Amino acid sequence: MRKRLTAPVLVLGLVVLPLAGLAAGVVAGRYAGLPGGQFKSVLRYEDAKNGVRIKPFALMRKPVTNADFQAFLKRHPEWRRDRVSSVFAEARYLSHWAGPDTLGPNALPDRPVVWVSWFAADAYCSWLGARLPTWNEWEYAAAADETHTDARQDPAWRERILGWYSRSSREALPRVGMQAPNTYGVHDLHGLVWEWTEDASSLMVDSDNRTQGDPDKGKFCGAGALSMDDRENYAVMMRVAMLSSLEGRDATANMGFRCARSAP
């Protein structure tokens, strides 16, 4: 179902992982290298009770912006809102832009791109020779704060994240990179937009059960039966519920994305 696109070769500096294959115009340092390791997800995987193994990977330091996505549309106009197939994007796709490939006051260049479908996000990352991060990679990166690789047990950190979720979604989005980077050098994993993951469609929650605390009530499909292992981490619970409620063609006012690269 995915459209895979090729791109010129460009090697990024400041990242240990080889990042060849990125599109022209990408500046050095756009990605941060993450070491990976054993990681205990807040989701309980029946086939990985001791945690999952995260391989080393690289993650974009900041979410993709409107200007970034506009450059992609210039090269691949088949993803413009007036040309894209309804199979890959719903009617609201990029509806806030002034034109099919024109930004405007509601889509400023340095703001994160939103109203973008999973298929379009996947195509953009493919254009860069990259991919969307998996849920486990995203959660692993997002567990870090400015000084710790895993800050999930810090009550102050949790309260700061939950403060964002209580903010009205009608407020204008700030520009990317306004928040301090976490210890890996990645910005805006919390507090800006929701983000698509490569395996979003596998985080399926039974439509009648959103409590996520009881394995008999919170049912997932994908890599084994999943349930919330940490009931206090409401921020992650809400992200899983959000992703599980969407189809690949859907678009929302606060769903953006960033790309990742695997180690060879």
Would you say the C-alpha torsion 55, 47, 136, 41 has a positive or negative sign? negative
Nearest CA-CA partner of 259 in 100, 103, 32: 32
pLDDT for 90: 97
pLDDT for 239: 79
pLDDT for 259: 98
* Residue 19 neighbours by CB distance under 10 Å: 23
Under a CB-based contact definition with an 8 Å cutoff, are residues 84 and 212 in contact?
no
Q: Hey, which bits of the chain come out as E strands?
A: 31-34, 37-39, 52-54, 57-60, 194-195, 255-256, 260-262
Nearest CA-CA partner of 240 in 226, 254, 256, 257: 226
Residues 6+ apart with CB under 8 A from 223: 45, 47, 48, 202
Question: What is d(CA 254, CA 190) in angstroms, rounded to the nearest whole number?
Answer: 12
pLDDT for 219: 36
DSSP helix/strand/coil, 65: strand
pLDDT for 51: 81
Residue 23: Cβ-neighbour burial (10 angstroms; 0-12, 13-18, 19+): buried
Torsion of CA 241, 200, 182, 26, to 10 degrees: -140
Beta bridge partners of 52: 39
pLDDT for 241: 78
Residue ranges of the chain whose pLDDT lies below 50: 1-27, 205-226
Beta bridge partners of 32: 59
Six token digits for residue 71: 């450059």
Question: What is d(CA 243, CA 124) in angstroms, rounded to the nearest whole number?
Answer: 19
Q: State in Å, rounded, how far the first CA of the chain is from the last one.
A: 24
